[in-house]
């Protein structure tokens, strides 16, 4: 059995048996895969902190044919994002991103762009970028890479360019102008196109400064989350936790 190696980000892990852990990796070259790390819960084990959620690692493993689980032999830490998750909102947000990736991308489907998006998002947050804006950046690109980002610039029905307010239909299948909008609808602010245009051209910010008003960012995130929840047919658990926290904070 040949030993393989993949540059990966740890999405999550869970305990199994007395001393082991199962790790969900998101690898640059093979996408999502699961591996068992034997003895990973023993004190002073050989994995150190490399298996913590969101660690950027080089994982070495053995794979048997027709087995879903690989056996992790070693894991070298390339970059840790452990301290970045000291902040609870950041920690929940990163679980939310991991949940989205696992939900929308089947195991063993390679997506190099999504890998780079997650890594640059982690590096931005570590560098102190604004959490809400960086999250909006991730969500916008995630929708695009999943193929569910609607065209916010043209009405889905009449194909005319949308100049002011547009509407997202309640079944989230498209964006409509004032004339064509079906019964159930949510308003979309015109800023969304400015924001999406900016994101297409720029990498995620590395500092607290961001070019948009925070209320616009919040409004746009709400639209994007509605589309994500609609496609998942449920609200991500970590997103519910985040929303509960922001309600408590604003009370």
Per CB under 5 A, residues contacting Zn ion are 155, 157-158, 177, 180
Our CB check for Zn ion shows the closer of 88 and 158 to be: 158
* Least CB distance to Zn ion at residue 237 (A): 37
* Least CB distance to Zn ion at residue 162 (A): 8
* Least CB distance to Zn ion at residue 159 (A): 7
Our CB check for Zn ion shows the closer of 86 and 183 to be: 183
Our CB check for Zn ion shows the closer of 76 and 160 to be: 160
Give the closest residue to 95 by CA, choosing from 200, 245, 251. Answer: 245
* Least CB distance to Zn ion at residue 195 (A): 22
* Least CB distance to Zn ion at residue 110 (A): 38
Our CB check for Zn ion shows the closer of 51 and 223 to be: 223
Give the closest residue to 150 by CA, choosing from 132, 177, 168, 162. Answer: 168
What H or E segment, with its residue span, contains residue 4? strand 3-16
Our CB check for Zn ion shows the closer of 58 and 189 to be: 189
Ramachandran category for residue 193: left, alpha or beta (phi over 0 → left; psi -120 to 50 → alpha) = alpha
* Least CB distance to Zn ion at residue 154 (A): 8
CB atoms within 10 A of CB 211: 10
Our CB check for Zn ion shows the closer of 53 and 174 to be: 174
Give the closest residue to 140 by CA, choosing from 186, 195, 86. Answer: 195
User: Tokens 């390679």 appear where?
Assistant: 110
Q: Measured between alpha carbons, how far is 96 from 240 in angstroms, rounded to an integer?
A: 9
CB within 8 Å of 126: residues ≥ 6 apart: 81, 83, 84
Q: Measured between alpha carbons, how far is 1 from 194 in angstroms, rounded to an integer?
A: 52
């Amino acid at each position: 059995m040949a030993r393989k190696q993949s540059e990966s980000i740890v999405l999550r892990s869970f305990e199994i048996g007395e001393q082991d852990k199962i790790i969900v990796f998101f690898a640059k070259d093979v996408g999502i895969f699961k591996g068992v790390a034997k003895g990973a819960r023993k004190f002073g084990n050989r994995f150190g902190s490399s298996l913590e959620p969101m660690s950027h690692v080089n994982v070495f493993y053995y794979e048997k044919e027709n087995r879903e689980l690989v056996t992790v032999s070693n894991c070298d830490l390339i970059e840790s994002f452990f301290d970045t998750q000291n902040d609870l909102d950041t920690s929940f947000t990163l679980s939310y991103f991991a949940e989205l990736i696992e939900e929308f991308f089947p195991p063993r489907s390679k997506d190099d762009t999504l890998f780079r998006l997650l890594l640059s998002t982690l590096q931005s947050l570590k560098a102190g970028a604004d959490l809400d804006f960086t999250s909006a950046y991730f969500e916008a690109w995630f929708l695009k890479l999943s193929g569910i980002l609607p065209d916010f610039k043209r009405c889905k029905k009449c194909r005319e360019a949308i100049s002011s307010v547009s509407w997202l239909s309640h079944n989230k299948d498209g964006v409509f102008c004032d004339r064509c909008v079906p019964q159930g609808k949510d308003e979309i602010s015109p800023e969304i196109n400015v924001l999406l245009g900016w994101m297409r051209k720029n990498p995620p910010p590395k500092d607290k400064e961001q070019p948009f008003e925070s209320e616009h960012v919040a409004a746009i995130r709400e639209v994007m989350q509605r589309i994500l929840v609609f496609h998942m047919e449920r609200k991500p658990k970590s997103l519910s936790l985040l929303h509960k926290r922001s309600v408590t904070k604003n009370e």
